[in-house]
Structure 1
Amino acid sequence: MGTETAVDGVPQNEASASSAATSTANSIKAFIAGGVGGVAAVLVGHPFDLTKTRLQTASPGTYTGAIDVVKKTLARDGIKGMYRGMVPPLLGVTPIFAVSFWAYDLGKNLVYAANPKRDTPALSTTEVTAAGFFSAIPTTLVAAPVERAKVVLQVQGQGNLPPGTKQYSGVLDVVRGLYKEGGIRSIFRGTFATLARDGPGSAAYFAAYEVTKKALAPKGKEPGELNLGSVIIAGGTAGVAMWSIAIPPDVIKSRLQSAPQGTYTGFIDCTRKTVAADGIGALWKGFGPAMGRAFPANAATFLGVEVSRSLLDKLF
């Protein structure tokens, strides 16, 4: 048997076991806290998201702007119309945001593993950005089908679908219909577009949050200490940073996921046809509602994450 090395008086195998347990506990807490934050985001932000999606996918001339979308939606369906299509993200938001924050935590661990002999435990902005980009990769596998179902439900509420388009009664009906239409491939349509949106977007998202929270940390306090005012402002800023660069791929994602089968062959084809038909400005449709949603929804997200994480830290 080999000799057992001690680190700070603790046998190495015991130290490794303790470190592994701590890492697992942190991953679990990141997963749960992300889910709580996601629910908060949907409750606050869904009306803005619906408005954005309808602007992005409607035929030219259907709406004059975001306010017109809201007015026509309220006139047609009342206040409940502003929450049409909320069930898919609400059901899927726990795994989406849970995986996102879990993957961000994992991304930070990978950064630490890549540079174990670091001068300070604090990650640089570049390292946070890399961890943020990484978080989008596993998250996309969950987000793409949820977004697909959400977009289909949101768009059919406009009432101007092409003749013969199937009307769905709810999220399960959407999933069944999409599978019957084109199998798993149909359910996951728009996956590359989702990653194209969320990769750079998540990099900006987490970097902006960490940088802003650090800048707003009260004198004498560490950025990690819970300060609700700083969390709200930093969370809102993170959302603005993400959506300031995410709208063009989001437009393509919405069009890919809402179009009848065979309309586009993929991301590049959809981009080319969108610009050819509606001009380059079409890639920024929905920018107003997205930015209007960005601050409150993501302030709610990070508030939910930080408060729940603080409570979880006290439990285990």
Structure 2
Amino acid sequence: MPQETLSERLERHQELFNKIDTQHNGKFTLEDFEKALHYTDHPLKDSHFAISQIYKSLAGQDAASDWISFEKFNQYLMSAEAQLATGFQNVDLDHDGIVTKKDVESYLIKLGLQPTPTELDVFFQKLDSENRGYVTFEMFRDGLLFIPRLEGSRIRTAFKFLNDEMESISSDGDVTVSDDVLKSVGYFLAGGLSGVVSRTCTAPFDRVKVFLIARTDLSSTLLNNKRQLQNQIEEKLHHHVSKKKIQSPLIRAAKTLYKQGGVRAFYVGNGLNVLKVFPESAIKFGSFEATKKFLCGVEGVDDVSKLSKLSTYAAGGIGGVMAQISVYPIDTLKYRVQCASLDSKEKGNRLLLKTAKDMFQEGGLRIFYRGLGLGVGGMFPYAALDLGTFTTVKKWYIRKTAEKQNCPLEDVVIPNYLVLTLGAMSGTFGATMVYPINLLRTRLQAQGTFAHPYTYNGFFDVFKQTVQREGVPGLFKGLVPNLAKVAPAVSISYLMYENLKVLFKLE
């Protein structure tokens, strides 16, 4: 190992101290220390417990101190670097002044650990900060300097943290639930609650959309609204009727629903919707986060913020597919309930149970999964475009803002109005691109009902019949109310999700 004079060491320690003492007060607090580790992307940046343990070591005997002076800081570094020098010699078995991946593997096995090739690669890449293929003492020292000696070994602690296997250890030495497990539960809970609030707020739009999709005697597309209104005008003029009575299909649909059931008609199926959307949204967001983490290992990056755009979009698609498959039977039942006659004697739970019973008698469990292939085919690109676009733009905004304000990425807070805007944009883009697929899927699910009496043999049959009866514009029927629902729904969902992540301390 190269020799370093005392003055050179003190100078290096002072430079390191100044990076933490950004206020130049000659001291720093635990909060300052945590911010410094976040800024340098330290592997322990998300573990408050581990950081607090290092801070206690910095404070030394005065463990209750609210701040750390350079004197205390220097004492810690002197002691820690001496221990690391001994540790480096123990790992460097051939004493050639460098540590290879094989040396590290042998030492980890000696500690009683059994690293997999992937785990070993992740750990060694962190130590080999300069990508040399080997680790010098300086790299070894700097990489492990602020790692606590839990279980008596910095290397053991660093290995477990860097491979996301570190179980949180309480101040009494007891093992508790890992941060990753708690975060995973938090992501699912945040996603579920976000979906429930969002879907309830926009239930009337969804009701009108399903009504228009199921009915073939009404039209509501961006492609033929203008033509239909023009025909209505000519018809009304021919009969000398005021133009003020001319109504768009959306207004006609809304009035029909209101006349048949009042305000409650706009919330038919919403109880089932909420029952469906909590697990659906929870699985979508939870699977999205889990898939991103898995793809980090595939790409060899240590943080989801470093994932490629392709992986981010793929994770979004996988999250959407997992959610779609898990709640598809409830989705089918919901459409059936919404397509029942509004004049039916059965209402509420009685209608729900009767519909489920009739469906089962008609085709068994299989009928509940009718159109699943089409649904999954449409959900993957939609979720990929929605979640992927939102996350990509969000990462871009955070990076640009951090550069502009010269602060760590973690300190950038996205304003709620921007979250709403990004959500509306990503949701609208994704929904528009895959709308024809979703329309055909809904008709497969709703076939044979009061509102949609037609039946189909499969995807190609429903596509053929739809185009024959209503032309290409029929593939976009209900798009206007759908977009009117999607924009606020996705916006509210992302707004809730982003704020709940902060509340649950997931980010």
Change (3 A) 1:183 1:168: farther
Change (3 A) 1:116 1:292: same
TM-score under structure 2 normalisation? 0.56
Change (3 A) 1:212 1:92: same
| Structure 1: 5+ residue stretches without partners | 162-166
**Aligned equivalent of 1:297:** 489
Matches within 5 A, 1:1-316: 2-4=109-111, 8=144, 9-11=154-156, 14-15=160-161, 16=163, 17-18=165-166, 21-61=178-218, 65-117=249-301, 121-157=305-341, 169-217=350-398, 218=401, 219-220=404-405, 222=409, 225-260=413-448, 263-313=455-505
What is the alpha-carbon distance in structure 1 between the residues aligned to residue 201 and residue 301 of structure 2? 42
Q: Higher helix fraction: Structure 1 or Structure 2? A: 1
Deviates more, 1:223-232 or 1:68-77: 223-232
What is the alpha-carbon distance in structure 2 between the residues aligned to residue 209 and residue 45 of structure 1? 20
- Structure of higher CA gyration radius: 2
Percentage identity across aligned positions?
22
TM-score under structure 1 normalisation? 0.87
What is the alpha-carbon distance in structure 2 between the residues aligned to residue 59 and residue 252 of structure 1? 13
Larger RCO (CA within 8 A; separation ≥ 6)? 1
1:166-192 per-position Cα deviation (integer Å, ceiling 9, x unaligned): x98333333333222211101122212
Q: 1:52: Cα distance to partner?
A: 0.9
1:278-309 per-position Cα deviation (integer Å, ceiling 9, x unaligned): 21111101110011111111111011111222
The residue identity in structure 1 corresponding to 2:317 is: F
Answer yes or no: is the 8 Å Cα contact 1:251–1:283 preserved in 2.
yes
CA root-mean-square deviation: 2.9
Q: Secondary structure at the match of 2:217?
A: coil
Q: 1:65: Cα distance to partner?
A: 1.4
The residue identity in structure 2 corresponding to 1:11 is: R
Q: 1:206: Cα distance to partner?
A: 0.7
Q: Secondary structure at the match of 2:109?
A: coil
Q: 1:193: Cα distance to partner?
A: 2.1
Change (3 A) 1:157 1:212: farther
Q: 1:201: Cα distance to partner?
A: 0.3
What is the alpha-carbon distance in structure 2 between the residues aligned to residue 65 and residue 230 of structure 1? 32
1:98-139 per-position Cα deviation (integer Å, ceiling 9, x unaligned): 000011112212221211157994223222111111112211
| Structure 2: 5+ residue stretches without partners | 1-107, 114-119, 124-143, 145-153, 168-176, 221-247
Answer yes or no: is the 8 Å Cα contact 1:129–1:206 preserved in 2.
yes
Q: 1:29: Cα distance to partner?
A: 1.3
Q: How many residues align?
A: 309
The residue identity in structure 2 corresponding to 1:18 is: M
The residue identity in structure 2 corresponding to 1:90 is: V
1:182-211 per-position Cα deviation (integer Å, ceiling 9, x unaligned): 111011222122212211000010122123
Q: 1:267: Cα distance to partner?
A: 1.9
Change (3 A) 1:62 1:249: closer
Change (3 A) 1:119 1:24: closer
